[in-house]
Structure 1
C-alpha cells in the first residue's frame, strides 16, 4: 500500500475529477476557527446538483448584487449559452454538517500557453459584469479566506485566476484588491477604462445634477418633438404578467432595428431567445426585474429591461423604434428612468453595463465606475503571458466583427 501526502491526495482527486464532469473538484482547503474549515471548489455549471440551492441563498444574501452571477440567470443559460468548460468557483465554509457558500462566481476553464490551468471569470454580451457574489456576513474574513485558499491553489497546482473588468467600486472588488497585496503568488492589476454609472445625487435629490442646463433643455426639446406626434407616456411595470408582455414587445422592437437586419437580435437567435425569456420570467417572479418604456399613442417606441436588487440597478438591454431615431427616444427614456431611480429611498447605483470607455449614456450619466483586470498566477512569466494575450484576443475579436459586419 502506498501512502499519499495531502498534496498528492488533492492532486490525484483533481485528476480523477477532470475525467468526470459530474463531480465536485477540490482546489484548496484551509482551517478556520472553532473546528470550521474552508474549501475552494469547482463545480460543473451544467450539473443539476444540490449546491444550486446554496448558491440561490448566497445571491439573495450577497453584499453588492450581480444579477448575471445569480443562480436564476445562470440556470437560464445552462444548455443554451453555457458549455461543459464552464464551472462555478465556490468558497465554502464548513462547520460540522453545515456547508455555506460564501463566495461564488462562474469561470471558464482554459489552458495558458505554458500549460497552466486558467480559470477566467465568465463574461459575454449577455453577462457583462464579473463581480463575484460574496456573503454579506463577515465579508472581510471571507475575502481573507478566499485569498488564502487561492494562494494555496496557485502554489500547489500552478493555478491561474483572471477576473477581467472587475468593478473596484463594489464591495468585493475594493476588498479583494487590498487583500491580494499580501499574496505570495504573483499578480497583475491593470486599470481599465471607466464606464458610465448613476449614483444618488446629494445636492439635488431627485435631479440629475451632473446634467448641464443645455443638456436638460435638449431633453425637453426632444420630448416636446415626440409629443407633437401623439400622446407621449413614460411607463414602468414590475407585475409578473406585465413584465412578460412588455418583454415580448421588447423582442419585437429589437428585431425591427439594426440587430434584426444583422441577424443578431435575441428573437432571431433561438437559444438566446429561450434563455432570455426564462431569465426575465424568473427574475420577474423573484421581484428582480422591471421594464421601462416610452410610449407614443400606446405603442412602445423605446424599452429598457432593468434588473435590480438591494438598490442596485442594471439596465440590461435597450431597444428603440428607428423610425423616431432623429428624436432620440432611447435617450429620452433613459433620462426619465434616471429621474425615477433617483427618487427611490433605497437607490444605491445604476451601472450602464457599457463597454469601458465613453458611451452614449455618458451624456446623461456623468458618474462612472472603475474597473481592473486582475490576474493571479504562479510566476511573473505565466502572469505576463496571460496579460499580454488579452489585447491580442480583443484585436482579433474586433477584426472578426469588422469582417462579418457585426
Structure 2
C-alpha cells in the first residue's frame, strides 16, 4: 500500500529539504534531492494542470512513447482504466535560472496490480490490450536523474515490487535504468525476454526486402490477381473530413474478422469504441495519425492505422476484408506501408507493436528490438525474497514438468 501524505512528509523531513511551492494540484509532493522532487497525482481531473509540461517532456523524451502522450493516455485512462486505482508520478527539477519554469524530467503512469503468490499490493506501469509499450517518459538530458528519483520514491512509498512490462531491453532507456539500479544496489527479476520487429530507415527502398525477393514477387502476383476483380488503389487519409469514414471502415472490417468471431473486436465494446474514436481524432488533429488503405472499386478492403511521435512511429492497428484473404490484402497493404514509411523522411523507425512470432510482420520487417518484462524489488524484505526465489522456483517447475513428460 502506498504511504500516506503524512508518512511522505515524515520521511521527507529526514532529508532537511524544502519542497518547492507550486500551484499544481498534486496529492503529495516528495523531495528527492536538492532541486529534485516528485509530485504524485491520483486524480484524472488533476492531470489537466500538467498537460503543458507533459507535452514538452514528450517532445524531449530520450525514447518516444506515443502511448504515454496525453492525447492517447488520457482517453485510455478514462475509457479503459476507470475502475482501476491509478497513480501518476511527475518528476521535476528546478531550473538553473530561477526565472525559468521547473523542468519535468520524468513521467511514470502507474496502476495497482497483484502478483501471483505475493501477499502485498504492488504497482506497475500502465498497459492494456491497446497500449503496446509501457516505457516511461524520461527527459533526454536528465534520464538517469529521473530514473534514480523514481526508484528512490518507490522506497519512500513502501512499494515492495515495481513491475515494468513491455519495456525495451536495449537503448537509452535501458542504460538509464541499469545505471539507476546499480546506484541503488537493486537487482531486477526477469519475467520475460523477447524481440519484436521494427522498421529502421534504410538508404534504398529495395534494402527493406533483401533476402525476401521470392515472397515480394509472390505478393506482386497476388495483387495482379486481385486487379482482375476491379480497380485496386492505395490511398492515404488526407483530411479531417474523411476521418469518420476511415474510422467506421476500420471498425467494420475488424468486426467482420476473426476478432469479431472471438468477441475481441473494438466495435463490440462501447468503451473501447469511444477510446478508438477519441485517440484517432486526437492524433488527426495533432498531425500524428497515418491511416493507409487498400481500395478495390472504391471500397476499403484493408486499412492500417499508424501513430507518430517525432522521429518514430507505431504500427498500431490493421484490419482487412477476409473474403479477399486469398489475395492477402493485409500483406499488400503492409508492402505499401513500408514504401510510404521510406518516403516519410522525418521518420527514422516504426515499431510493429506485434508479437515475437507474428508470421506476416516477421517475413517483411528485417530489424528487431529487444523487449522485456521485469520485476524490480525496491529494497523491502518480502519484495527482495520474492524476486530472488522466483527464478529458482521457475527452474524447479520446468524440471518437474520435464520429468513428468518423460514418465508419461
Q: State the TM-score, normalizing by the size of structure 1.
A: 0.82
State the match for 1:106 in structure 2.
Answer: 109
Residue 115 of structure 1: CA displacement?
4.9
Contact in 2 for aligned 1:165/1:372 (Cα 8 Å)? yes
Instruction: Indicate conservation of the 8 Å contact 2:151/2:180, yes or no.
Output: no
1:246-325 matches, within 5 Å, as 246-325=246-325
State the 1:74 CA deviation. 1.5
Structure 2 alignment gaps of length 5 or more: 1-5, 14-24, 395-408
Quickly say closer, same or farther: Cα 1:317–1:279, change in 2 above 3 A: same
2:79 is paired with a residue whose SS is coil
User: Within 2, Cα distance between the matches of 1:340 and 1:211?
Assistant: 20
Whether 1:75 and 2:70 are equivalent positions in the alignment is no
Going from structure 1 to structure 2, the CA distance change for 1:307 and 1:370 (only over 3 Å counts) comes to: same
Report what 1:212 is aligned to: 212
2:36 aligned counterpart, secondary structure: strand
Deviation for aligned residue 1:114: 5.2
Q: Matched residues in 2 for 1:386 and 1:5: separation?
A: 26
> Quick one: distance in 1 between partners of 2:241 and 2:324?
28
The alpha-carbon distance between structure 1 residues 211 and 273, as it changes in their structure 2 partners (threshold 3 A), is farther
Give 1:321-400 correspondences, 5 Å limit: 321-377=321-377, 378=379, 382-383=383-384, 385=386, 388=390
**8 A Cα contact 1:187 1:376, kept in partner:** yes
1:166 CA displacement: 0.9
Change in Cα spacing, 1:31 to 1:158, as seen in structure 2 (3 Å) is same
Asked if structure 2 preserves the Cα contact closer than 8 Å seen for 1:196 and 1:366, the reply is: yes
How far apart are the structure 2 equivalents of 1:57 and 1:289? Answer: 19
**Contact 2:291–2:304 under 8 Å retained in 1:** yes
Deviation string, structure 1 residues 118-160 (Cα, Å, up to 9, x no partner):
2201111111111111223x1xx33234214413532672542
Shift of 1:262: 2.8
Larger mean CA deviation between 276-285 and 261-270 belongs to: 261-270
Question: Structure 1's 329 and 156: CA in aligned 2 closer, same or farther, altered over 3 A?
Answer: closer
Shift of 1:254: 1.3
CA distance in 2, matches of 1:145, 1:344: 32
> In the alignment, what sits opposite 1:240?
240
Q: TM-score normalized by structure 2?
A: 0.81
C-alpha spacing 1:237/1:157, structure 2 compared with 1 (3 Å): same
Count of residues in Structure 1 that have an aligned counterpart in Structure 2: 370
Question: SS where residue 74 of structure 1 aligns?
Answer: helix
Contact 2:59–2:310 (CA under 8 A) maintained in structure 1: no
Distance 1:200 1:127, change over 3 A: same
Q: Deviations over 1:57-100 (max 9, x none)?
A: 32233233211111111221233111341222221223458333
How far apart, CA to CA, are the structure 2 residues paired with 1:169 and 1:133?
15
1:8 matches 2:5? no
The one-character-per-residue Cα deviations of 1:270-300 (angstroms, maximum 9, x if unpaired) are: 0110111011101110011010001111111
Task: Tell me, yes or no, if the aligned pair for 2:161 and 2:375 is still in contact at 8 Å.
Answer: yes
1:171 equivalent to 2:172? Answer yes
> Using the alignment, how far apart are the partners of 1:219 and 1:93 within structure 2?
53
Partner in structure 1 of residue 37 of structure 2: 39
Match of 1:122 in 2: 126
Aligned match for 1:135, one of 133, 136, 139: 139
Alpha-carbon contact 1:191-1:372 (below 8 Å) kept: yes
Question: 3-state SS of the aligned residue for 1:106?
Answer: strand
| Residues 376 and 273 (structure 1), Cα distance of their counterparts in 2 relative to 1, 3 Å cut | same
